[in-house]
Chain A
Amino acid sequence: MAVENRDPAVRLDRGFWLVTLLLAVLAAIGIVYWALLAPITSWLPEAVDKAQQIDSLSRFLMASGTALFIFVAGYLLYFSIAFRRRASDGPDAIGVQIHDNNKLELWWTIVPAVFVVVMAIFSIQIWAGIQLGDNNGMVVEALGHQWFYSFRYPDVHGEITNEMHLPLGTPVTLHVTSYDVIHSFWVPDMRIKADMVPGIINTLRFTPTKVGRYQIVCTEFCGTLHGEMNKQYLVIDTPQKYKAWYQGWQQKNAHASDAIPTQSTGAISLSGGNVNAGKMLFTQKCSACHALAPFSQKVVGPGLKGVLSDPAHPNLVDGAKATPENVAKILQKGYKGDMGQMPNQTANGLTDKDIADLVAFLKSTK
């Protein structure tokens, strides 16, 4: 390029250095504020261990971001004022004809690079702490519905649909998935979220560190009332309080899986089951846990393609022969085996007719 005209030497005057000093001070203030003073926890409590870790990263990001912005914006402003065209210079006055300054350009490649590297390292550390933990915590499941959440606990039959309780200090492994469309499980006070994707199970690992009631918010658009999907709470209890709550639900739902709701006593008539209606129901209510695939294709429960005809699996999970009646029984009473909990009729919200339809549909899948 234009090497013909040699660049004049760059001379930075006192004004420049004064401004630099000023910006440095401002940047320092910004850094100190974000690193130490900013009362983050008074804006949003830190409900779990992960929250502290993420906040420490956020403080660092905010601090460096603020500093960088102050310098860029500061020089922008200063140069704009200092080098504006004054009345004194004529219309065709021109600026200093500088094209390049390799040293300078090298520097402003290195400095951001350093920032990026540090940010990356810090982020990766925190990331490892969040993503690489093992699933040995107490297992709880959260399921997204249009437009509410339901929760499942070990040894509590059926699903709890109002609040989610967790004991202080116990590591938790939270599996989330969805019954219908994509939702998301976010507790702002936990700082972490996971999307609830039908057919996929995402996992959050954390340890509650602060007693309180925390709002659960859905952040993935899920239809008409997506905005209403913030009405449920995560309650972090002292272990004793939690135990009481937990046992309460155990009793409350103890019969859910055995005592069949009033409308259906004993065997369900499977006559007039409608395949298509069953198909609909299946996609709505079952597909979150069951694939239409051979038994081996487990999602939460086994694949259900041809449960009634698969020679490889003459018996159902409960050992009974794979007959329409026995499938109906599982749908009616639910079943808990080593794969987990198959919800019962009430938990799945099925009428007898629904069950007849579903069985008819399952029969039709070969």
Chain B
Amino acid sequence: MAVASSLLSTPVTHGHDDADQLYIETRELRVQGFLLFMVSDLVLFSSFIFAYLYLRNTGQGWPPPGAPHVDIWLAAMNSVVLFGSGATMHFALENWKHRNFMKFASWMVATIVLGLLFLGGQGVEYVSLYTKDHASWGGSGIFGASFFTLTGMHGFHVFVGVIYLTVLLLQATAGTYTFSKYTGLTLGTLYWHFVDVIWVVLFSIFYLL
């Protein structure tokens, strides 16, 4: 992710406060590029969601014989955590816009911590599924195929996100961004909200459906 966003560097990303026109256009380009990147990422998730729904509705019926039962409460708690982190991320950026570094930093930290919490929760869920129902990626049929693949992919996105945000925080501390030029932070926020949205979908198709 961090890599991707730096690859989205146009010829002139290291902004000069004088070339404002330049900054604005560069920002437009990078934001747009990043949005498109997320579109294709979305397609990736959608394909696997399609696969899941397809398998679910053909042949054996759902839950397939011998599939473990997922614990909706754990997942619900986890969701709250993740949505919370979405909010904190939002505050972080707002505070940056209001040129308040300390508040920005603390909200960022909060976001990162919540992100880690989510990962922890997912870890717990995986472990319990594995120990209680011997559910595993390859071992438990199409349940494993769809559940672990999708939640795993999402978990990976969160994981990357946590690193990404940490990098951004460090960069911000190191003064990479000015209060008037902070495209990198915007991209980070976009990404984090994206991960949130994906989770809404996954939660509803796996735990509510």
Q: Which residues of A contact B (CB under 8 A)?
A: 199, 291-294, 297, 303, 305
Docked-complex contact B65 and A199, CB < 8 angstroms: no
Q: Which residues of B contact A (CB under 8 A)?
A: 59-61, 64-66
A294 contacts across to B, CB distance below 8 A: 65
A305-B67 Cα distance, complex, nearest whole Å: 13
Q: Within the complex, what minimum Cβ distance (angstroms) separates B39 from chain A?
A: 31
Some 7 contacts from A to B, beta carbons below 8 A apart, are A199-B59, A291-B59, A291-B60, A293-B64, A293-B65, A297-B60, A305-B65
Docked-complex contact B66 and A297, CB < 8 angstroms: no
B59 contacts across to A, CB distance below 8 A: 199, 291, 297
Apart from A293-B60, A297-B61, what are 10 other A-B pairs with CB-CB below 8 Å? A199-B59, A291-B59, A291-B60, A292-B65, A293-B64, A293-B65, A297-B60, A297-B65, A305-B65, A305-B66
Q: What is the total of A-B residue contacts with beta carbons within 8 Å?
A: 15
- The A interface is mostly helix, strand or loop, or mixed, namely loop
A297 contacts across to B, CB distance below 8 A: 59-61, 65
Q: Within the complex, what minimum Cβ distance (angstroms) separates B71 from chain A?
A: 23
Q: Closest chain A residue to B141 by CB distance?
A: A292
B61 contacts across to A, CB distance below 8 A: 297
A40-B59 Cα distance, complex, nearest whole Å: 41
A294-B66 Cα distance, complex, nearest whole Å: 9
Q: Closest chain B residue to A294 by CB distance?
A: B65
B64 contacts across to A, CB distance below 8 A: 293
Candidate in B59, B61, B65, B66 with the most chain A CB atoms within 10 angstroms: B65
Q: Closest chain A residue to B61 by CB distance?
A: A297
A199-B55 Cα distance, complex, nearest whole Å: 13
A323-B187 Cα distance, complex, nearest whole Å: 64
A291 contacts across to B, CB distance below 8 A: 59-60
A297-B61 Cα distance, complex, nearest whole Å: 9
Q: Within the complex, what minimum Cβ distance (angstroms) separates B143 from chain A?
A: 13
B60 contacts across to A, CB distance below 8 A: 291, 293, 297
A199-B58 Cα distance, complex, nearest whole Å: 11
Q: Within the complex, what minimum Cβ distance (angstroms) separates A73 from chain B?
A: 39
A305 contacts across to B, CB distance below 8 A: 65-66
A291-B61 Cα distance, complex, nearest whole Å: 12
B66 contacts across to A, CB distance below 8 A: 305
Q: Within the complex, what minimum Cβ distance (angstroms) separates A167 from chain B?
A: 35
A292-B64 Cα distance, complex, nearest whole Å: 10
Q: Within the complex, what minimum Cβ distance (angstroms) separates B116 from chain A?
A: 39
Q: Within the complex, what minimum Cβ distance (angstroms) separates B132 from chain A?
A: 16
Q: Closest chain A residue to B64 by CB distance?
A: A293
Would you list the 4 A-B pairs with minimal beta carbon distance, nearest first?
A293-B65, A293-B60, A294-B65, A305-B65
A134-B59 Cα distance, complex, nearest whole Å: 23
A294-B59 Cα distance, complex, nearest whole Å: 12
A292 contacts across to B, CB distance below 8 A: 65
Q: Closest chain B residue to A366 by CB distance?
A: B66
B65 contacts across to A, CB distance below 8 A: 292-294, 297, 303, 305
A10-B59 Cα distance, complex, nearest whole Å: 62
A303-B59 Cα distance, complex, nearest whole Å: 11
A291-B64 Cα distance, complex, nearest whole Å: 12
A283-B65 Cα distance, complex, nearest whole Å: 17
A148-B60 Cα distance, complex, nearest whole Å: 29
Q: Closest chain B residue to A291 by CB distance?
A: B60
A328-B65 Cα distance, complex, nearest whole Å: 24
A303-B60 Cα distance, complex, nearest whole Å: 10
Q: Within the complex, what minimum Cβ distance (angstroms) separates A75 from chain B?
A: 41
Q: Within the complex, what minimum Cβ distance (angstroms) separates A312 from chain B?
A: 12
A159-B11 Cα distance, complex, nearest whole Å: 71
Q: Within the complex, what minimum Cβ distance (angstroms) separates B54 from chain A?
A: 13
Q: Within the complex, what minimum Cβ distance (angstroms) separates B75 from chain A?
A: 26
A293 contacts across to B, CB distance below 8 A: 60, 64-65
A291-B65 Cα distance, complex, nearest whole Å: 11
Q: Within the complex, what minimum Cβ distance (angstroms) separates B140 from chain A?
A: 12
Q: Closest chain B residue to A306 by CB distance?
A: B65
Q: Within the complex, what minimum Cβ distance (angstroms) separates A270 from chain B?
A: 25
Q: Closest chain B residue to A296 by CB distance?
A: B61
Candidate in B61, B64, B66 with the most chain A CB atoms within 10 angstroms: B66
Q: Within the complex, what minimum Cβ distance (angstroms) separates B198 from chain A?
A: 31
Q: Within the complex, what minimum Cβ distance (angstroms) separates B190 from chain A?
A: 37
A293-B64 Cα distance, complex, nearest whole Å: 8
A63-B60 Cα distance, complex, nearest whole Å: 46
Q: Within the complex, what minimum Cβ distance (angstroms) separates A337 from chain B?
A: 22
A34-B65 Cα distance, complex, nearest whole Å: 55
A165-B183 Cα distance, complex, nearest whole Å: 74
A199-B59 Cα distance, complex, nearest whole Å: 9
Q: Closest chain B residue to A292 by CB distance?
A: B65
